[in-house]
Amino acid sequence: MANAAEDLDLSQYDVSKEEKDKLAAEVIRYVLFKTHQNAGCPIKREELTQLVTKNYRHRSLPGLIINEATQKLSSIFGYELRELQRSRPSAIQGRNSSQQSVADSRSYVIMSQLSADVYRRYVEDVDTAHITGFTFAVVSIVHLAGGKISEENLWHHLKRMELAETDENHPVLGNIKQTLEAVVLQRYLHKNKVSGPEGNTTFYELAERALDGPVSEKIKEYISEIVNKEVTYVDDE
């Protein structure tokens, strides 16, 4: 009965169960490959939609296939295919931003559903852990600045951590400026240039990935731990 109901449901999309499963597998392969290739940068929904619509024309089919891929990524691979709503730069920057106006669009990232301990023990790549640490440090600085900070002030704080804008050969992070740009590409930060009476000023602002629930909570926990350590240190003095 269940299979008959599924076949009936699929008939409205003009696809068979085998075709649906094949399309879902193609989406899963694409998501895993792009995540690895682009260092975790979000994948646009439009990219996944095009995988489905290149041979099929039903307008609702991409949604069905993406949902199927989401379920299989979770049950088979232990990943959540998390949808992000692309955020705009703040209204304060508004019309003065040199960045082209970007229409709101959906994108996806994959997040492990394993517990933190299990992930660290069996999955985490120690070779990229330093990048994660840098990302958390930068996003935390912007968070503490109220969600938005000038490029000059951001580099001021990073220099206190011995991370200079001109450093192209850091022993761990390599080119610091390129590493910061990667944080922007991964949609943790917006980068916008604003025109003013004294010339152009570049600002960094929290983007959708930094504002997403789980990441935002981790950042708050990270900041809270640092503050508590500082308080404890002062008390001990």
DSSP string for residues in 191-221: EEEEEETTEEEEEEEE-HHHHSHHHHHHHHH
So what's the pLDDT on residue 91? 45
So what's the pLDDT on residue 45? 93
Spatial separation of the C-alpha atoms in residues 98 and 101, rounded to whole Å: 9
So what's the pLDDT on residue 96? 45
Average pLDDT over residues 36-65: 90
Average pLDDT over residues 50-73: 92
Confidence grade of residue 98 (pLDDT, cut at 50, 70, 90): very low
Q: What percent of the chain has pLDDT over 70?
A: 84
| pLDDT above 60: residue 237 | no
So what's the pLDDT on residue 162? 93
| pLDDT above 70: residue 233 | no
Q: What is the pLDDT of residues 25-35, one digit of tens each?
A: 999 999 999 99
Other residues' Cβ atoms within 10 Å of the Cβ of residue 175:
14
So what's the pLDDT on residue 229? 61
| pLDDT above 90: residue 49 | yes
So what's the pLDDT on residue 46? 93
Cα 147 → chain centroid: 16
- What residues contact 97, with CB distance under 8 A and at least 6 apart? 89, 192, 193, 194
| pLDDT above 80: residue 106 | yes
| pLDDT above 80: residue 228 | no
Mean pLDDT is highest, among 68-82, 182-196, 220-234, for 68-82
Q: What is the pTM of this model?
A: 0.76
| pLDDT above 60: residue 94 | no
Angle between helices 129-144 and 151-159 (to 10 degrees): 120
| pLDDT above 90: residue 217 | no
So what's the pLDDT on residue 205? 95
SS3 149: strand
**Which of the pair, 146 or 233, is modelled with greater confidence?**
146
